[in-house]
Amino acid sequence: MKATVEILQVWNRFAGMPMETFTKGWWYARCGGTSRQRTIDEMIEHRRLYGAGGNCFDLALWLRHEFARDGLHARVVGHDLCTEDAHVAVVATGPDGAQYLCDLGDLWLQPIRIDVVDDGWHAGFFPGREVQVAPLDAGIEVRYRRTNGKVGRQRYDLRHLTEDEVMAASNHCQNLLRRPFCEMLLPHPETGVVEHWEYDEGKSFWNLTTGPVFEPPCGSQAEWAERISRRTGMSTELITEAFAAYRLS
């Protein structure tokens, strides 16, 4: 179920990049209140200048671009496009023709093969959970099992999307400002094991196999900006501007 060296070489270029919506708010304000999908060159520059990552659309388009640079075919797949529930990822084809789901937007540890029937549960693909891939008529369902046996699900529609459909959904998403959010895969300060850290709605916490462990709250927005910057590498300038954009949206 693991990806080939060629797929992983591209995937690993995104190690240490946050999945976040702070850049979306910051970019929305920079665009004057009518946003658009950032270009690849803009995302690269914002990463260099501000430590920015992006949301699932940003990361999927950027990842597809990197696969193309290495001569590998990849396409964007998604569900519920042009709604608040939209989510996209990438399906990449290895040199041997095998198909791999590559989902930076949900912070997978590594891609997983999806063109073989395998009803087993697999560790090492998603933080704190085992995963199982099940075929559907027009896609797949990924099941996530915690150590307590609780199972979550995510469905991926694998039907072909035109470039116009992808970009229309991307531009629509960039104009939906719901809340500032970010998550990262980071070494836990006590164990050194790579775990899932998250900021959402004025709370920050570690999503461990045993459940969430909350950090002490910050006393001000400036303190939150410092903590988020320290965890993610994003600049406090971008984070502070994003907080302001979300308040005004």
| Residue tagged 């999503």 (tokens) | 207
SS3 state of residue 140: strand
pLDDT at 78: 92
Strands 99-102 and 87-93 come out as antiparallel
Nearest CA to 174 out of 17, 47, 31 is that of 31
Angle between helices 56-69 and 163-174 (to 10 degrees): 140
Q: How confident is the model at residue 119 (pLDDT cuts 50, 70, 90)?
A: confident
List pLDDT tens digits, range 28-78: 999 988 889 999 999 999 999 999 999 999 999 999 999 999 999 999 999
Q: How many CA atoms lie within 13 A of 18 on its CB side?
A: 27
Tokens at 245, concatenated:
């954009």
pLDDT at 33: 81
Residue 24 has pLDDT above 80, yes or no: yes
Enumerate the domain spans of the chain.
5-248
| Residue tagged 């920015």 (tokens) | 52
pLDDT at 249: 63
List pLDDT tens digits, range 133-149: 999 888 999 999 988 88
Handedness of CA 183, 195, 77, 74 (dihedral sign): positive
> How would you label 127-163 residue by residue, b for 16+ Cβ within 10 Å and e otherwise?
bbbbbbbeeeeebbebebbeeeeeeeebebbbeebee
Residue 14 has pLDDT above 70, yes or no: yes
Residue 210 has pLDDT above 80, yes or no: no
CATH class of the domain defined by 5-248: alpha beta
List pLDDT tens digits, range 150-191: 899 999 999 999 999 999 999 999 999 999 999 999 998 888
Q: How many Cβ atoms from other residues are within 10 Å of residue 216's Cβ?
A: 7
pLDDT at 202: 93
